[in-house]
Structure 1
Amino acid sequence: MSVDNAVQQTRGAATLSDVPSYPDVPTYLNILGNLHIWEGDGWKKESMAWKTSAYIASNLSGMPEFTFSGPNARAFLSRLSINNVEKWPIGKSKHLVMLDENGYIANHGLTVRDGEESYRHFAAMPWALYKAPDLGIDVEIGMREIFIFQVAGPSSLEILEELTGEPLRSLAFLEIRNIRIPGIDPAATIELSRIGMSGTLAYEVRGDLEHGPAVFDAVYRAGESFGIQRLGWRTYVVNHTEGGFPQQGCTFLPAAFADPGFVSHPLFGAALPPHQTSGPFSGSTDRYDIRARLRTPFEVNWGWMAKFDHDFIGREALEAEAASPRRKTVVLRWNKEDVLDVFSSQFEQGAEYRNFEFPTTPQSPAGDHADKVTVDGRQVGVSSLAVYSYYYREMLSHSTIDVDLADIGTQVVLHWGYADGRIKHIRATVERYPYLDLPANKDIDLTSTPA
């Protein structure tokens, strides 16, 4: 398929539901072109699920899966990505990070190598399609609509084994396996991957979008006795913040939104909300400053992925930054008394401070949010959206901050509010990153997990 045909197919794809309608779930929203749960089992229960039981989430569904195939497919992805794609076993996943010419993250997402000359890229924007004509590399590009369900938490493996009726604990981190689900068309290709963003044991279940509602319900029913929760968009970014996974559209804006050609393109940029590309943006920084909302790989602690052994878009800018990185991402823990002052202002006469919406502010979209972070009146960083962690009973945020101030215990001041409104100076402390103090997915020994 040509690039133009793939783009046309992306634009013209039918909107399908990827989750069933449950009578006890009151609010659904069409986000990313598909029906998603806004709040499933209550945000407090949902935010506890990846530490104490498990959740199922559909929030990554809605963006199509792209395939790149042919003898030049590897060279094509190499030209786009900061990662080395040469040493990549077939059947394994890789998190590819793609930049614009200025070294900012334009797009990132998971990619699977299916064969010697075949790759699948999903949960990402069509940046590769947009840049394909400029690269001049002959590659076959295809597209299909898929569902992506995340099943995460200490009970996730038991639930999936209950669902499939087969042992799955030999599936290693980043590996993929096809599974069969009772009640689902046996001809359907459903794959399971041990990957996730919660910071704990997590898996993704993926397949053709038409099977999404039935698969979602099958996982949910298999997990009811294990206490599974249906995680909605309202709580989705809490696990990113606790687990230390920055995400475009959630904790920063992709630089594709700052590319005039991408934004004005009738197929790529037509569906983007105008405020996400030109402002006014959210937060106490200049509300039209898009740079405050962009990130480089080093600023989100992904600099280690960059391999300067190949030519890629943005290499010159990234290599210059690598010589002396200026900022990195940390977790900020907000001062409780200052947070309570924000609530108190809602009950006083006069201009109140910007209110908090639990568990995340702003709730959706959130990637354009940027608050000033200062020390002794000097700006030293930018903080992303505010998250209330019910598990820790703390207000937290990710912040890019000057590297010489990134040590745990450093005291800073976060400017909460809008640049043209009343600002609350909230004291905050640099804390561990990631903040979640539970074993990470890749480090969990599954030999002791109940069968």
Structure 2
Amino acid sequence: MTAPANAPTLQEAIDRAGSPVRLLWQPGTAPWTVPVVEPEYDGWALEQEAWRSAVAISDLSFHMSDTVYEGPDATRLLSEVSANNYESFAIGQAKQFVPVAHDGNIIVDGILLREAEQRYVLTGVPASQSWVNFHADRGGYDVTHTTDPDSSVRRGGDPKVFRFQIQGPAALELVASAFGGPLPETKFFHSLVTELDGRPVRALRHGMAGQAGYEFIGDFADYDAIKGALMRAGEPLGLRHVGGLAYFTNGVESGWIPTPTPAIYTDPRLEDYRRSLSAFSYEGKKPLTGSYYSERIEDYYISPWELGYGRSISFNHDFIGRDALEAARDEVRRTKVTLEFDEDDVRRVFGADLGHLYDYGRFRIERDGELVGMTFWTANIAPVGRVLALSLVDTVAATPGTQVEVVWGEHPGHGTAPDADLGFERIRATVQLSPYNEYARTAYRSNATV
């Protein structure tokens, strides 16, 4: 959301609301969808099936923010504000960016691509970029940063870059057809610069939901030409265009929690940071919804260890939150899991025609009437005929096969006890591993490097 002139800061908004939770708690908020891209092209179920059994194209050009960091101190800046390993960071490589606050909990992740010796691009939810920008400006670093926001907040004009993701069992066949032959062998999350239709393109070896694929990135002036070339190459293979609704559901199967609550709202050491952010920023407007309610914003914070980012963490350098993050390694109390909703309960609560059911609310997970966790992303995965919820649960409830209940409803917020009996529906669920997709959990993830 674009901030009006003289908008209050995040700290001012918190003070006026009375607490961070009172500011962010917005029951009934509709899930955010990808801007510009159509919600559906061929239908929710067909688009989900395409990346599983054929090939799909996702247009990621419009819903992510990009910030470029360049200068002699670019590497030093990034290494001092994140837990990543920069000694093993090759040019052309991308990494899951892991910035943490002083308490060791995550800000928000992103994808960090090293384009040159002292040039990086950080892509994703803007909260991680705001964190780096603040320290770049206040820390005396010899570095410049330029942000291209996502299209939901951009004040007119096109993005600076296009980004197309090709994924599915036939992805490599499509790529070979489009480029006139296979691309050179590239490691997972590494990239090369090549040409398509006479235009330069960066090909990042990537994919979602465990399927093979590439992400193609280039100057937005070439958007139509590159997309057209990929679509033509994919037509004989049954290529489907993934809409903005189905796109987010691939994270449920691949085990990626994309929008954790930034751990920034109460720490006195971060007051200046909160005053640098607008009340209309991501941090001020990302709503909390669902049946999991707490007056303590800290109850929504997440450790990178809980997110499964251990392989991306390195303690070979000093960074903000280092000691707390290292201490938390032996104190992890929650585990990321996938919940399979009971089919009878799904029909009872949602009806027989689920359609594009998805929700990013935080819903209570209970075992024997006791709170054991919360959901993060719930979606109908049509090809497997299941409603799945990517969740965090206490380790005592994390064993696959454990039976739990999801409390489905919208807690009204302040003034009502977090565990009040509000007559909400209860959906039985079975704990399963995360990632839910077996390939994503085994072969695909084993290719990841720090």
TM over 0.5: yes
Give the structure 1 partner of residue 151 of structure 2. none
Give the structure 2 partner of residue 23 of structure 1. none
Residues 374 and 414 of structure 1 are in contact (CA less than 8 Å); yes or no, is this contact kept in structure 2?
yes
Corresponding residue SS for 1:438 = helix
Question: Are 2:343 and 1:336 aligned?
Answer: yes
Corresponding residue SS for 1:102 = coil
Question: Are 2:175 and 1:174 aligned?
Answer: no
Corresponding residue SS for 1:282 = coil
Relative CO higher for 1 or 2, CA cutoff 8 Å, sep ≥ 6?
2
Residues 99 and 314 of structure 1 are in contact (CA less than 8 Å); yes or no, is this contact kept in structure 2?
yes
Corresponding residue SS for 2:196 = coil
Question: Are 2:380 and 1:388 aligned?
Answer: yes
Following superposition, the deviation at residue 191 of structure 1 comes to 0.8
Q: Take 1:65 and 1:77, find their aligned partners in 2: how far apart are those partners?
A: 15
Q: Take 1:31 and 1:386, find their aligned partners in 2: how far apart are those partners?
A: 14
Give the structure 1 partner of residue 9 of structure 2. none
Give the structure 1 partner of residue 280 of structure 2. 270
Residues 68 and 120 of structure 1 are in contact (CA less than 8 Å); yes or no, is this contact kept in structure 2?
yes
Q: Take 1:60 and 1:108, find their aligned partners in 2: how far apart are those partners?
A: 18
Q: Take 2:427 and 2:208, find their aligned partners in 1: how far apart are those partners?
A: 28
Residues 33 and 244 of structure 2 are in contact (CA less than 8 Å); yes or no, is this contact kept in structure 1?
no
Following superposition, the deviation at residue 113 of structure 1 comes to 2.1
Q: Take 1:429 and 1:60, find their aligned partners in 2: how far apart are those partners?
A: 36
Question: Are 2:356 and 1:359 aligned?
Answer: yes
Residues 62 and 147 of structure 1 are in contact (CA less than 8 Å); yes or no, is this contact kept in structure 2?
no
Corresponding residue SS for 2:329 = helix
Corresponding residue SS for 2:430 = strand
Following superposition, the deviation at residue 340 of structure 1 comes to 1.7
Residues 148 and 204 of structure 1 are in contact (CA less than 8 Å); yes or no, is this contact kept in structure 2?
yes
Give the structure 1 partner of residue 3 of structure 2. none
Q: Tell me which moved more, 168-177 or 285-294.
A: 285-294
Q: Identify which of 274, 285, 289 aligns with 2:292.
A: 285
Q: Take 2:43 and 2:339, find their aligned partners in 1: how far apart are those partners?
A: 25
Ranges in structure 2 where 5+ consecutive residues have no aligned partner = 1-31, 149-159, 413-421
Q: TM-score, normalised by structure 2?
A: 0.78
> 1:115–1:169: structure 2 CA closer, same or farther, 3 Å change rule?
closer
Question: Are 2:131 and 1:130 aligned?
Answer: no
Q: Deviations 1:374-402 (Å, cap 9, x if unpaired)?
A: 11221111112321111111111111111
Residues 146 and 208 of structure 1 are in contact (CA less than 8 Å); yes or no, is this contact kept in structure 2?
yes
Following superposition, the deviation at residue 255 of structure 1 comes to 4.1
Q: Take 1:404 and 1:215, find their aligned partners in 2: how far apart are those partners?
A: 49
Question: Are 2:145 and 1:141 aligned?
Answer: yes
Give the structure 2 partner of residue 57 of structure 1. 58
The one-letter code matched in structure 1 to 2:40 is E
Q: Identify which of 314, 317, 324 aligns with 1:317.
A: 324
Q: Deviations 1:272-314 (Å, cap 9, x if unpaired)?
A: 49552xx5x3210127664454422122111332222222122
Q: Deviations 1:183-236 (Å, cap 9, x if unpaired)?
A: xxx3x4311111122211021010122322332232122111101111111111
> 1:269–1:59: structure 2 CA closer, same or farther, 3 Å change rule?
farther
Ranges in structure 1 where 5+ consecutive residues have no aligned partner = 1-29, 347-355, 445-451
Q: Take 2:69 and 2:391, find their aligned partners in 1: how far apart are those partners?
A: 35
Q: Take 1:287 and 1:162, find their aligned partners in 2: how far apart are those partners?
A: 53
Q: Take 1:237 and 1:166, find their aligned partners in 2: how far apart are those partners?
A: 31
Alignment of 1:187-226 (within 5 A): 188-226=199-237
> 1:91–1:429: structure 2 CA closer, same or farther, 3 Å change rule?
same
Give the structure 1 partner of residue 390 of structure 2. 398
Corresponding residue SS for 2:98 = strand
Q: Deviations 1:58-111 (Å, cap 9, x if unpaired)?
A: 135343433323332211111111111112222222221112233232132222
Aligned residues: 389
Q: Take 2:113 and 2:61, find their aligned partners in 1: how far apart are those partners?
A: 16
Give the structure 1 partner of residue 113 of structure 2. 112
Q: Cα RMSD (Å) of the superposition? A: 2.8
Percent sequence identity is: 29
Question: Are 2:251 and 1:240 aligned?
Answer: yes
